[in-house]
Amino acid sequence: MKRCLLVFACFVLCLPCIAQNPDDPATSDDVILYLRTMHSHDMMQKLMEVQVQSMRQLERDVILKEKGSVPADFDARFKKEMDDLIKNMPLDEMAQAMIPAYQKHFTHGDIEAMNAFYSSPVGQKVIQELPAVSGEAMQSMMPVLSKYLSDWKERMKNELESSPSSSPAKSGQSASPDKANQ
């Protein structure tokens, strides 16, 4: 009798594992395991640290363009502010907030496959190298992005200045100062 009870208990306890279909929606626990496998907390922190370097250079370029020089203590002040930003970032809350998005887009089977990949040696290498790759990629693309944004701003400025709605005659104002005084 005890043996039958033990077999029944094992069956009942294992049923959720057996019954989980790969096409079922990902559970919160599936996503949490995936985020742990990805070392998401550490990865987010490393990615932010890498992004800070790009942000510092972008901010430095903007200040140089606008003012011609950067304050002497710019780097120290910027580093302190960014260190504080990263140190106090609510990473755990952010991870919890991401769970529904993963559940919406991935099934239980998808999460299992991703966990299998990121648990492998190649997956772990991807996790390890991704922050450095992202940083190098951002540095490489920053000049392209800066030029594009500068050109875009100039185009927008020109379009706004030449648009019919911005001309005085179209906006109900007099086209010439002489007519306005009559």
What's the average pLDDT block by block, 10 residues per block, for the chain (182 residues)? 53 50 89 92 82 82 86 88 86 91 95 95 92 85 89 92 65 47 44
pTM: 0.59
User: Quick one: pLDDT at residue 138?
Assistant: 83
Q: Give, in order, the Cα–Cα distances in Å from 85 to each of 41, 88, 102, 138.
A: 15, 6, 26, 20
The Cα 32–Cα 92 span in angstroms is 11
Sequence-separated (6 or more) residues with CB below 8 Å from residue 179: none
Between CA 78 and CA 91 the distance in angstroms is 21
| Residue-range domain boundaries for the chain | 24-148
Per-residue pLDDT, 14 = 46
pLDDT at 168: 52
The DSSP secondary-structure symbol of 27 reads P
